A and B are shown apart, each in its own frame.
Chain A
Amino acid sequence: MPALSELEEAWLEARADESFRAELERLLRDFAGRPTPLYEAGRLSEAVGHPVWLKREDLLHTGAHKINNALGQALLAKRMGKKRIIAETGAGQHGVAAATACALLGLDCTVYMGTEDMRRQEPNVQRMLLMGTRVAAVDAGARTLKEAVSEAIRDWVANVATTHYIIGSAVGPAPFPALVRDLQRIIGDEARAQVLEACGRLPRRVVACVGGGSNAIGTFVPFVGDDGVDLIGVEAAGDGLATGRHGAPLTVGGRGGILHGSYSAIMQDDEGQITEAHSVSAGLDYPGTGPEHAHLRDLGRAHYVAITDTEALAAYRRVAELEGIIPALESAHALAWVMANPDGAADALDLVCLSGRGDKDLAEVISRG
């Protein structure tokens, strides 16, 4: 708890500090490639039947929105005098982003990764190693993201004096969900200004995929006060919600619970044991979700839906054919939902966060035919 208070204080201070903000802005612009374009996907729009605009986080350095958060937290760690960084990763995108930020800033980095994910995402393991990061294999439980987060938290508790934990999503104990949201809201801030500039109005629907929920919360937050804008989070239905093999705690509803230090929608059995999530997309393969999403859901401000593995895989291929863009399997969930649920309104206008690029998923997609 004291470490969390220290982190919160340091973040509030840094956020208000002009020179910190300027340095982060410079890195996001010159190193990571911000602002990312907002792109009207013409052939996809035609197929859906109304305009669909894509926020191109896939064009960022390292290929996903994760770098926004990793750069911000690594800079914060440096400011706090912490020389050692730990992180967890599922698909490897956050691990690569953390490794990248640490190489850039000269910080020592260890990334915890489940052995099942290491197998599924071998190229990302190699990327991290290349940048001087140590990849620590986690062999507990299902050997995926949940176990990696647990192991990173254990490391942090033991080494808290020297170490900062760059959590990859809007989950974990406070202040992490808020810290990650603050660092990711640049997606929504840019997109809102860009859509106003390009279309002269706000979108009717803003859509993003939700695992832990960092790209979605970053996209949603600037639109929360815009009453006419529907916010739609797309979770992983895995093999189908009815099978229980999914990663859609927000969509399924049910009792809230505690996972990794926050109270939110989680997948659990009657006794409160956390159950395993399932998704073809490693980044959505997590039984919990950011607490702010559960809050937006309970307020009725955002709605959560789910897309199966099969639907996401089809969208992955379809968007590649239509747009010459290979989306991450995570982002393919958001695109699949839009394609399956066109907006009937005359002034339909969708804004979708294309959170990452899909090269990392090629082997997985091809192996499934």
Chain B
Amino acid sequence: MSAAAALTGAERIAEAFARSGKRAALMPYLMGGFPDLDGSAAIGQAYADGGADLVELGVPYSDPLADGPVIQAAGTAALAAGATLGGVLEVGERLAPRLPVVVMCYANLVFARGPERFAAALAERGLSGLIVPDLPLEEAPIVLSACDAAGIALVPLVAPTTPQARLAAIGERARGFLYTVSVTGTTGERTGVQSELEAVIARARASTTAPVAVGFGIGTPEQASAAASAGAQGVIVGSRLVREAAQAADPPAAVRAVVGAMASALSG
């Protein structure tokens, strides 16, 4: 804890990107509290064992507008199993000594607690970053200043449809990394990597000094490798792993194998 706690969230994330030893840092998504709190902590540990560089920790939400069916279903199951924000942050605290934890949480949960208290709660538990997928640029300043004050990196999202001027404004305010959505739409596995990916990533990289991580629709080692070749400095894998966690008899072993395959694809 002590070495990690000395760094701000943004610094710890930057270090994870810089020291990944891969063509792109690997950031698997973990649904907090799915199938239950201990189960999700074990899956998170397996991510680290498999070679993850960071972890994106999802807080289950009643109305996850940015998520496709796999992550929605996992969130609903987590809530039904009694997951609370506090419980999920505790899962993050258990993982934080091993790798930087970036919390993915919908805006109403952040505002219900209040951005200052929310950011402080992340910092107290040694977590590094926050992604709020339904927080537009216009509403971001109050959350950004709360996060900055607490040493938490507020990571913004951009999409292929984000206009140039807006992209520049978002890129300028990016902390930790810039989450670049590879496709328009919700999270979920897709076949192939879009041919425009290279252009999307180039545009994103030109807008910011932060590393650019690509997510949405990346489910195979080939796709992860292709994203790195297209210029991504980080690769986020979500639905593929949540699906594995939902279906496998031994979720930690199963996700460790998937993360391991992704990690070697990114190391080659």
Residue contact A273 to B186, C-beta cutoff 8 Å: no
In the complex, are the beta carbons of B63 and A150 less than 8 A apart?
Answer: yes
- Residues on B with beta carbons closer than 8 Å to the beta carbon of A261: 134
Q: Out of B65, B79, B166, which one reaches A2, CB within 8 Å?
A: B166
Question: Given the complex, which residues of A lie within 8 Å of B185, measured CB to CB?
Answer: 154, 157-159
Contacts of A257 in B (CB 8 A): 108, 111-112
Whether B108 contacts A274 by the Cβ 8 Å rule is yes
Instruction: Answer yes or no: A255 CB below 8 A from chain B CBs.
Output: yes
Asked if A258 is at the interface of the complex by the 8 Å CB criterion, the answer is: yes
What residue in chain B is nearest A146 (Cβ atoms)? B63
CA distance A261 to B73 in the complex (A): 21
- Chain A's closest residue to B110 (CB) is A272
A272 in contact with B108 given A2-B163, A3-B161, A258-B134 (CB within 8 Å): yes
Q: Is the CB of A273 within 8 A of B61?
A: yes
Given the interface pairs A2-B163, A150-B63, the reply to whether A270 lies near B112 with Cβ below 8 Å is yes
Looking at the assembled complex, report how far the CB atom of B165 sits from the nearest CB atom of chain A, in whole angstroms. Answer: 10
CB closest residue in chain A, given B181: A157
Q: Is there an interface contact between A157 and B62, defined as CB atoms closer than 8 Å? A: no
Q: B181 → chain A, closest Cβ, in Å?
A: 10
CB distance from B192 to the nearest CB of A (A): 16
A285 CB to nearest B CB, Å:
15
On chain A, the residues within 8 Å of B136 by CB distance are 1
Residues from chain A with Cβ under 8 Å of B72 in the complex: 140
A272 lies within 8 A of B112 (CB): yes
Query: Is A268 in the interface zone, CB < 8 Å from B?
Result: yes
Within 8 A of A (CB), among B59-78: 61-63, 65-66, 68, 72-73, 76
| A157-B66 Cα distance, complex, nearest whole Å | 9
Tell me whether B108 and A258 are in contact (CB under 8 A): yes
User: Considering the chains assembled together, what is the distance between the CA atoms of A105 and B29 in angstroms?
Assistant: 44
| Chain A minimum-CB-distance residue to B183 | A158
A136 at the interface (CB under 8 A from B): no
Is A272 within 8 A of B111, CB to CB? Answer: yes
How many A residues have CB within 8 A of the partner chain? 28
Question: Please, how many angstroms separate the alpha-carbon atoms of A157 and B184 in the complex?
Answer: 6
Minimum C-beta distance from A153 to chain B (A): 6
Inter-chain contact total with CB atoms closer than 8 Å:
72
Does A160 sit within 8 A of B, measured CB to CB? yes
- Judge whether B137 and A153 touch: CB under 8 Å: no
Roughly how many angstroms separate A268 CA and B66 CA in the complex, as a whole number?
A: 19
Q: Is the beta-carbon distance between A157 and B186 smaller than 8 angstroms?
A: yes
Contact A140 B134 (CB under 8 A): no
Complex: A141 Cα to B69 Cα, angstroms: 12
Contacts of B113 in A (CB 8 A): 271-272
Q: Mark A223-267, 1 if CB is under 8 A from B, else 0.
A: 000000000000000000000000000000001011111000010
Are A160 and B184 touching (Cβ within 8 A)? yes
A260 CA / B108 CA spacing, docked (Å): 10
In whole angstroms, what is the CA distance A243 to B231 when docked? 55
Complex-state Cα separation, A157 to B64, whole angstroms = 13
Q: Which residues of B contact A259 (CB under 8 A)?
A: 63, 108
Closest to B137 in A: A1
Q: Is the CB of B85 within 8 A of A271?
A: yes
Asked if A153 and B65 make an inter-chain contact with CB atoms under 8 angstroms apart, the answer reads yes
Residue in A closest to B109 when the chains form the complex, CB atoms: A272
Question: Which residues does chain B contribute within 8 Å of A160, judged by CB atoms?
Answer: 161, 184
Q: Chain B: which residue is nearest A2 at the CB level?
A: B163
What's the Cα separation between A275 and B108 when bound, in Å? 12
Which chain B residue lies CB-closest to A273?
B62
Given the interface pairs A3-B161, A258-B134, the reply to whether A150 lies near B184 with Cβ below 8 Å is: no
Chain B residues whose CB sits within 8 angstroms of the CB of A271 once the complex forms: 84-85, 109, 112-113
Quick check: A154 and B186 within 8 Å, CB to CB?
A: yes
Chain A residues with CB under 8 Å of B76's CB are 140-141
Proximity string of chain A (269-284) to chain B, C-beta cutoff 8 Å, 1 when within and 0 when not = 0111111000000000
* B264 interface hit (Cβ, 8 Å): no
Interchain CA distance A271-B107 in the complex, whole Å: 11
Instruction: Output the least CB separation between B32 and chain A (Å).
Output: 13
How many Å lie between the Cα of A272 and that of B252 in the bound state?
30
Given A140-B76, A157-B186, A150 and B65 contact (CB-CB distance below 8 Å): yes
Question: What's the least CB distance linking A231 to chain B, in Å?
Answer: 28
10 pairs of A and B residues whose beta carbons are closest in the complex = A272-B112, A158-B185, A272-B109, A274-B62, A258-B108, A272-B108, A273-B62, A154-B186, A257-B108, A258-B107
- Tell me the B residues contacting A by CB distance below 8 Å: 61-63, 65-66, 68, 72-73, 76, 79, 84-85, 107-113, 134, 136-138, 161-163, 166, 183-186
30 sample A-B contacts, Cβ–Cβ < 8 Å, listed by A number: A1-B137, A140-B72, A141-B76, A150-B63, A150-B65, A153-B65, A154-B65, A154-B68, A154-B185, A154-B186, A157-B65, A157-B66, A157-B186, A158-B184, A159-B184, A159-B185, A160-B161, A160-B184, A161-B161, A255-B112, A258-B108, A258-B134, A261-B134, A268-B112, A270-B112, A271-B112, A272-B110, A272-B111, A272-B112, A274-B62
Q: A259-B108, A271-B85 are in contact. List 12 more A-B contacts (CB 8 A).
A: A1-B136, A1-B166, A2-B163, A141-B76, A146-B63, A154-B186, A157-B65, A158-B184, A158-B185, A268-B108, A274-B63, A274-B108
Residues of chain A touching chain B, judged by Cβ–Cβ distance below 8 Å, are 1-3, 140-141, 146, 150, 153-154, 157-161, 255, 257-261, 266, 268, 270-275
